């Protein structure tokens, strides 16, 4: 039987907060992460782009499925993880974009035209959304 990998966290509290924020504001990404990506990674099928390779480790970035407008306003939601193949450990390091996910955990975010906007820069986010909508309508 093939031995599966064990998940560990660089900062579990911080990681779980971002994970809950993804669950709250992007259920599709959370479902894919929980029911497809985590089991695959545990079984040794490392998903995403290999961004760094060391003698003992490999670091990956996995893009989670996200609404196109969200990507244009805030950026792609990415899972960052490092694999220690000799120890059979996967270190879950981060979920980005950090700003909007951390803010989504601290306070209830509002949506504007179907895209969540930050409380720190709502005018900037609404401007981006309006600009992108105007560009699509032409």
pLDDT digits (tens, 9 = 90+) for 48-92: 999 999 988 999 999 999 988 888 888 899 999 999 999 999 999
More confident site: 125 or 110: 125
Is the predicted pLDDT of residue 1 greater than 60, yes or no? no
Identify whether the C-beta of residue 61 lies closer than 8 Å to the C-beta of residue 80: yes
pLDDT for 105 equals 67
Count CA atoms within 13 Å of residue 108 on its CB side.
1
pLDDT for 99 equals 79
Greatest Cα pair distance in the chain: 57
Is the predicted pLDDT of residue 27 greater than 50, yes or no? yes
């Amino acid at each position: 039987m093939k031995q599966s990998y064990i998940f560990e966290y660089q900062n579990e509290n911080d990681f779980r907060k971002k994970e809950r924020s993804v669950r709250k504001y992007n259920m599709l990404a959370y479902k894919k992460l929980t029911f497809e990506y985590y089991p695959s990674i545990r079984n040794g099928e490392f998903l995403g782009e290999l961004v760094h390779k060391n003698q003992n480790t490999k670091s990956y970035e996995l893009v989670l499925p996200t609404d196109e407008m969200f990507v244009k306003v805030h950026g792609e939601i990415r899972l960052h993880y490092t694999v220690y193949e000799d120890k059979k450990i996967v270190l879950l390091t981060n979920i980005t974009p950090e700003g909007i996910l951390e803010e989504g955990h601290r306070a209830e975010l509002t949506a504007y035209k179907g895209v969540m906007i930050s409380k720190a820069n709502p005018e900037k986010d609404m401007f981006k959304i309006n600009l992108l909508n105007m560009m699509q309508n032409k």
